[in-house]
Structure formats: structure tokens, C-alpha cells
Structure 1
């Protein structure tokens, strides 16, 4: 059965924050969307229904292609420009393997290792440089082949100046690779600014782990080598199951990995939920909650992730003792505010940290 690309339909009536919140009952005290999202009711129902049914590859393929269409809407592109993956490091590794030997790659200091290690260990003698995220645009120079960075930093929640970085890269002919894993789901993502966007869906998009995407421009896609090509990368996957003479898809599907079927069953309704959402309203609400927490704690910053120095983990322990799920990274404690959180979560967290 061919994997039919499902064109992204016209945007429906956007789902408001209150309606989204109703998909996540029992979420109070969970401030860890930056670690892993909570499954919405629709995802729970889809997974249960699949467990009660016999395996059906045709049904699974529909879930994959519907997920691809939703990812395209979330990343600001079209389905034919989106490849499916299992992890972001897989697609980053393919990009690293496609760069010229000795090419220069500029990364943000302290960025998530899945975005950095594929370049460091590519085996292609890439020259990997680092600069603070706030100075990344200024660090782009003639000879830079690729600028790779996360739109929102995992450890601290810092938000990149995407316009400045994209402009600086264009000025010297460098490509751009943006990781939207910590952004997609709570803020709009304009993938048209970049040559490639990678995104794992198990955090803010509240999908099961094992569903990731690569959105790539047609021009940049022509430079990439489909080193992970398998049966699902074929123009007709069900005719590409054997031998080496399969014709790969002419669009971004040639970079597909074989889909984790059950993961996509759960991901499809979650991705559709957020693709239908009023994302500017989601961003306003999540950042409102985060800003209210920052004000109460005397912290500075922007975005839906709040972090602060906590080298001994004392604050993280206080939150945990109060029944609040947070996380610690690089000597800092993180809390994240998503659509399933509200002002009660802010109050509970502030109270737990007030000694």
C-alpha cells in the first residue's frame, strides 16, 4: 500500500487554551513538559483502541501520514517537505554525514547533545565551533557552512533570536538547522526561516516518545544523502520492501525511517490537537504563567521554561517534597508551564519554595 501524502487542510477553527486544557485532566503539579509531555485524552484513547485491535499496517500508515501533515502545519511548511524519524539525532546525523569534509559548523554553547554530538563525531573532520546563544549571530563568519542551534535551550529556556541568526547565515551563504523540540507546542515556529528544522514530539507536543520530524527546504534537501533509507523511504514503500532497486521518494519522504507504528497511533491525535490550536494564545498563556512565577521568585527571563541556579538541588527537593514534578539540569532547577498548567500550579510552586 503506498504511503499517500495527506495535504495539509485549510486551518480549521482554532482550538482555544481552555479547550486544550480539558484534554489533560489530573495535571496539577506537573511542571515538566520540558522533560516529557503528558498524553491528552485523545492519545490515551487511540493507544487503548489500538491495543484492543489487530495490527493493521494500512491504519498505521494513515496515522503516520496524518502526523506528517500536522507536523508540517506546526513547523510552517508542507507535508512533502517533512520526513519522519525516531529521534532528532538520527536526522542531525544524516545532515552531518552530508556536509563536505572539513566543513565548519557553528553551534550554541551548552546546547542539547543530540544536536551537537553528530557533528563532533561525524567522521568527516568537521570543524565545530561554539558561541553563546545570544552571540551566535555575531559568531557567523565567511566559511561557516552550517549554523545549528535550538530555538529554545533545554537547560535554561533561553529563546534564540531566530531572525538575527537566519540573516547572519544568509549573508555568508551558511545553512541553518534549528531544533524546535523545546519550542513547538507552546510557541509558533516559522520553519521558513531555516534550511532545516528538527523536532521530537514527546515534550511540548505531548506525543509518545519515538516520533520525530525533519522539515527541510527543497534546495537543502538536494544536498542531503539518505543514508538511513529503508523501505519507507521508497516512492511506494510497499513496493520497496526487498532488494536494492527501489525508487526513493522524490520529496522529503526519501529521508524517512521506518515508523514506530504504535507511537504514531498515539502521536496522531496529539499532533492534530496542537496543529489546530491557537498557538499565539498558547504562547501568551504559558509565558504569562512563567512570568508570574518569575515575578514571585525575583527571576528574569522569557519563555515558558524557568530555570535558576540550584547547585545542591535543594529547591528541586522542596518542589518534589510538595508533590510537584520539576527537573534539574546543569546545576539548575527547571519548571515548565504548558497548556495543562494554571495559576494553581504557580501558587503551589511558589509556596513550596518559600522558606
Structure 2
């Protein structure tokens, strides 16, 4: 049976109350803190060997595969989204078109702009599918927009891209851990950093690649950890890469993965349909209370051009973020209706100025 939300909530500390900044930085479960502390003690005692961490990385990969419903052999480990996206960007033919969502997080955009030999079109996320044409080689977008919480129509985008033979790349950083996903149905490749909704340390990220694309995608970041046999791949001249998505692995920052293991294991035990309904329900309750249209989003942003509501929230003990001139609230499984009520009081007491 999946872990219940009530039980999962007990794995987090008391300061989770009033924490509405998961879209910027998720909170770790208690077991993550304990695991990282214990690892430091073992390392300090000189009783840690580098191969000891292989089991940890394997466990993280398996848990993430469960969370996004992907075969484990399609999951590669990464350190940042931009580095994983760069692998995809390097595969696009010069002179072809890449469609990106206008205002998307820069890690999904800059690797394509940095190429200098691609036509990069910035399109409102709601219009991405309709914009795909015969010129399009790739559509790259975030499933949930970081600044606003707006969700892209992934099915329509995948269908439009398939009609013209284009690939799709989807960033699920603001979705994995808070909504049900099927990575390989969603897109040809997905990327995710786990330090937000997956409650893991920064430096733990993932790339999933379809079996079809995996056969031709170049592992431009290949190093010793991408070898078929990791500990026999530390020196040249021969290069024998793993036959699956592990060929795209980058060497892990070990302490971060130690912390990620219990966090990902916890999230993998949850029913993501339940998590998604619960967090969207909190978002909708907040939206309705501040006279916005409920959209079934865990991230809800309202105008706050001078930052007065952000400052008031901080003064009231609410941890929240401001993005693009908006007050951005993000509700995770450790939040409750009490958090909604506290934030509503702030918004009503410190309304944003009207823009004439």
C-alpha cells in the first residue's frame, strides 16, 4: 500500500509549517539530515571508500524511476538541469528550429541560445503545440512553469512534434514529486533537478531518454562514471560506455546522493495522484481566497510588483519567494490549510498596488 500523506508528513520537521517556498528549495525529510550527518562521521573517521557510494546512486536511480514511471535503464544521473539539457542541445542539427516556452527557466533555454547556430523561437506556453511546424527539430519546455505554475499541454505538444518528426524535451523539475508522471510518454527526454519537490540536496538531477533516442544521442559529457564497468573505466585509451542511459551519467557528488536516497525512497512510496490532488487543492483554496481563478496548481503566483507582500510574509514567519514581480506560493505535502489561511491574511492586509 502507498504511504499515506499523514504518515509522510511526520518525516519532516516542525518548521515545515509556514514553508511555502518549495518551488525554490524543498525541505529535506529528517532521514536525509541523519544520513548526511552519519556519512560525514564515517568519512571523517577515514572509513569510507569511493565504491561504497555506488549502492547509494543505484538506489536513487531506482527510486526516481518509480516516481516518474520510467524503466530504470532509461534514467541517467546528472548534477544540474542545464548540463543535462546541453547534451540534448549538442544533438540538434545546425540551422534547425528549436521551440522553447517564452519566459521558461533559463536552464531550459540558454543551452540552445549558446549554440549560436540554431533558430530558437520563444512561444507562450499555451501556444507551443500550435506553433510546431516542418521546420521544428525540437520542442523544449518545462511541464510546469517555474514563475507561474502554469502547466503545459504535454500530450498536445508530443502529438504535434510527432507529426513533423520533431523530438521533445520536458523539464519536470517543478512537477516530479508533486504530480503523477510517465516520463517516456511525456516526452522523448526529460530532465529534473531533485532539490525542489523531491526534497533532496542540490546536485542530484536526472535525465531520462527514450530507448530510440538513446541509440543516437552522443554522450558528450562521458567520463569514468559512464563506463560499462565504472571502476574499470578510470583510464584510457579504451572507452567502453554503458549500453543504456548510464552512458550519460556524470560522476556523482557523493554526499548529496547520500541525502537524496531516503528522500527519494520516501517520495517513491507515495501515491502521486493523491499528492497532486492534495497540493492542487491547497493551491485552489488559496487562489479562491485571493479572488483568482483556481487552476489546479500547486504553485500560485499573484502580482506583487513592489514586494510588499513578500516582505510582510517574511515578517509573519512565512517562508515564500518572489519571482518576476509576483508573490509565488508553492504548496507541498507538508503544508496544510493553516498555511493557506496565514498567507491569505498577509495578502489581504498588504494588497499589491494597482497598476494603472
TM-score normalized by the length of structure 1:
0.94
Unaligned runs of 5+ in 2: 350-356
Residues 255-284 of structure 1: CA deviation (Å, up to 9, x unaligned): 100111110000011111111111111111
Aligned mate of 2:184, from 184, 192, 210: 192
Structure 1 residue aligned with 2:169: 177
Structure 1 residue aligned with 2:72: 79
Structure 2 residue aligned with 1:262: 255
Structure 2 residue aligned with 1:17: 5
Contact in 1 for aligned 2:227/2:247 (Cα 8 Å) = yes
Structure 2 residue aligned with 1:3: none
Contact in 1 for aligned 2:31/2:263 (Cα 8 Å) = yes
Once structures 1 and 2 are overlaid, which stretch shifts more, 105-114 or 165-174? 165-174
C-alpha distance in structure 2 between counterparts of 1:20 and 1:142, whole Å: 47
Unaligned runs of 5+ in 1: 1-12
1:322-337 correspondence to structure 2 within 5 Å: 322-337=316-331
SS in 1 for 2:109: helix
The answer to whether structure 1 residue 304 and structure 2 residue 304 are counterparts is no
1:190-229 correspondence to structure 2 within 5 Å: 190-193=182-185, 194-229=187-222
Aligned mate of 1:28, from 17, 22, 33: 17
* Residues matched between the structures, number: 342
Structure 1 stretches of 4+ with a deviation exceeding 3 A read none
Contact in 1 for aligned 2:281/2:296 (Cα 8 Å) = no
Post-superposition offset of 1:353: 2.0
C-alpha distance in structure 1 between counterparts of 2:52 and 2:269, whole Å: 22
Post-superposition offset of 1:189: 1.2
C-alpha distance in structure 2 between counterparts of 1:352 and 1:309, whole Å: 13
The answer to whether structure 1 residue 91 and structure 2 residue 79 are counterparts is no
Structure 1 residue aligned with 2:353: none
Post-superposition offset of 1:89: 0.5
Post-superposition offset of 1:48: 1.3
SS in 1 for 2:100: strand
C-alpha distance in structure 2 between counterparts of 1:284 and 1:261, whole Å: 34
Residues 48-102 of structure 1: CA deviation (Å, up to 9, x unaligned): 1111113232331101011011111122211111110000100100111111111
C-alpha distance in structure 2 between counterparts of 1:155 and 1:353, whole Å: 18
Structure 2 residue aligned with 1:8: none
